[in-house]
Structure 1
Amino acid sequence: MFKVFFVDDEELVVKSLQASLDWKEYGFELAGYALNGEEAFDQIRFIQPDVVITDIRMPGTSGLELIKRLKNASNRALFIVVSGYAEFALAQKAIKYGAFGYCLKPFDEEEIIGYLKKAKGLLEENINASEMRYLDLIEDDSEEARAELNDALNAVGINADSGERKHIVVSVGKDKLNFEPLGNCITLKIGYNKFVYVIQTGDESRLWYVLKDSPADLRGFGVSNPFVRVEELKNAIHAAELRAYHFFTSGKGYDCTREAAISNIEEHTLKQIKEVIVKQDIQGIAQSLDEMGSLFGSGLLNIKHALIVYNAIMSFSGESEAEHMEKYVLSYDKLAGLFSTAQEMLLYLKGVLSIGHDPQQDPPLHGGKNRTFNLIFQHINANFRGSVSIQNIAKEFNVNANYVSQLFKKEVGTTFTEYVSKLRIEYACKLIASTDMSINEIAEKAGYDDYFYFSRIFKRLMGTSPSNYRKHV
């Protein structure tokens, strides 16, 4: 919901306008009102409404003077000016000062509704553009990007260049968290039903108080350790994201404890499973997976480790495209979509090991495109925007997954993963050039659940970020 604030020296006029519309129907909530310009200036700076509807003639500070003062104070609200006088000069002056709209009293509901719809569209556009710029700056490690990010945070009240403590929260789930009671906060969408919150927290206990009242549709959230410098922000996001998937790794819901210190256990465990994989020791691999179960449950291993183990075992069982499998099952969201918990994943991997892989089960590869491959190829071209995978294709066409991988490389001359990435990025480029959808929406349409991963693949294939690509098409 966007916030709307009213300014008029006649309270009856304000009450009448507030009661005349179902504001929520048009995406707005009533944030308050003031009966003079001086009071309005202070309240608007504190409340930070998205739209201000102000009378033009008031004792003391007029509506035009109020707009001018707020603009000089870098306020970003959209202003709709109302007047009981049909004076063209006043309307011109209001527009010159940056007014978004100009209405005459008595109010015409349809006229107000029309302005609200335009305002909502413009606000949503600004949010999408602002979000994309933040995400690009966070991904960019250059000194110039850090300086710009520093300025952008300062502009919205998060003192990036001070010693004040900040936290990152990442939430996974349909509903957003509401940190409005805490004051300064930026919310960024980084994937399908996944959000990042940058919060300036003076009193950390208030942060945890808000988190305890999390929405029912939230699957999980993670909180970073406090940080001060803007260059720490990117790592804080990654740390909070790992903790947001505690519901997957432990199966116990939210984890409201502090981030655990890095342990040698994770390094030892991953090294151990790599060693038994190299030795092709099936029994040793199964034993390592059993040991991992308790480590996931106790929080000593996180979803990043789950992703590494999953890809390593699947690559081992297939014995081909080993270097590409990690890129294929590449997001935490996909892994959490395949399995409810890490324990379920480990059971599945043990099943994969028990079945084993017999190369003689694979059909022989012959020269020229065969009928099965043609069907598979058509299926990929038709469904690349969805959750298409080698495993799903193998199941769909009743063939061995390793065979699909080898056949694809032989017939197309590239790996399955690279081909699907090429299709998705080409599709994303078309949407960027031909629509005004946000980059986040385009990423989802092209089959990517995670904005940061989409941005990295886009930059690798196109040589620039999605936002920069849009500027030059």
Structure 2
Amino acid sequence: MYKVFIVDDEPFILSGLQDILDWELLGLTIAGQAENGLEALDKLRETPADILITDISMPVMNGLELIRAALEFRPEMKVVVLSGYDEFKYVKEGLSLGIENYLLKPINLEEFQSTLATLVEKLNVSRLDTEWSEYTNSVLKDNVLLRWLRKQIDPEELSERLNLLGLSVSRRYVEVALVQAEPATEAFRKDAAALVGSRASFCMFWDSDNDLVLIHNFEDKIQGAMEMTSLLQEVIGICSSTQRLRIAVGSVVEDAVNEAPLSYEQAKQAQEFLEIHPERSMIYYEQLKDRKEDLEATLPADWSEYSKLIMSKNLAALTERFEQYFSAACMEGLTSELLREISLEWILYFRMLIKEIRSEMERGFIAQGLTAIYKANSLPTLSAAVQQTAGSIIELLDRELRSPVVTQVLNYIEKSYSEDLSLKQLGFMFNIHPVYLGQLFHKTTGESFAEYMNRYRIGKAKDQLRSTNKKVQEIARSVGYWEMGYFYKQFKKYVGISPTEFKGLL
């Protein structure tokens, strides 16, 4: 509902305007009223309004003075003037102030209703534009910050993009923390954004794992670490009793631009520890250093062989490799506690290998594996728990179905391939982050979104070249290409010859 504020020095007109229309049907509600301009101005400072309906001739402050003063602090407000004066000077001055319409009393109900309906349409468009602008800015920020922390952007481009976003990483130190909220409610997202937004040395975004990423850039190492701890305590404070938070913090590193990715990677590694120790809700990477050194000496240096066996669903060969591995570990005389930690690392490895599946089955298999390891009291039972989880993962890979979101996107492409489509637009349409949508799309189709779109459109162009007498330029536009040079380039890439040559062969 949009809010309407009415001003007129005649009480019967104020009450009459409220009764003359079904305001709710128009998507409007009366937020307030006043009998003169000065009273209205005071109330408008406290009462937000989307539409102001005002008389011209009023005591204390007239309508034009009210409009001029009110638009200074509510410039987006739409204004309709009602007046008994059909004088050009009033109309001219009203128009110069940007009023939407100047209606004479007695009011023509049909014209009044039509004016309000038009205003509602304008406000709807304006709201959508604002929401879309906020969304695209958010997507841009998330994309830039994620590329930075993944080392996928060079320093010069990073500097340009951060300046564009109004962000800076000019201070000496940086520290990255990850907050995993289950569930990540809209209220939690807004409250977290408000907390971070009030601190100039912090910025935040949500990464493709749906983790809240906090980046702190500061000058004083001790003070900066304390500020991060303080903010994390406040984040815990806005968590509801039904939410579970898991917080992982990377090390403080120097050279923010180049070393922030290291702190981010450390936070991700620390987060894995929380996966296998659910009794903990917060961990600093520094607390895991000794553990990691012990594990690195015993875990495989190269995981690729195991990855290939799992992805090829070769359970027999995988089982044989596990038996060899655990037999060798037993021969080294490792403590039972370290063997348990090694087994937990294997479960984490399985989880990382299939993390993009994100299904309830995946969660169930991982949980079962962790439970079995906690209950195991010997090397054979530890080995069996790891092997059983590996078998469950292979079973999941066998059952995996195409992502429902990607199916929706593919169906939409089939109907709308001639339109200007992008991951950003489709992400907004299907309520999914564009970066994550791109990952799902590639995983499901085996192609990037751009590759798929070009191949699909060129296929449609070939069909039209075979079955119609349309000109090549017409066909290019009908399948979504408006730049002929690019169309020719893509056609030759996928077909091997130009569209003109292709048509000549038919």
TM-score by length of 1: 0.50
The structure with the larger Rg is 2
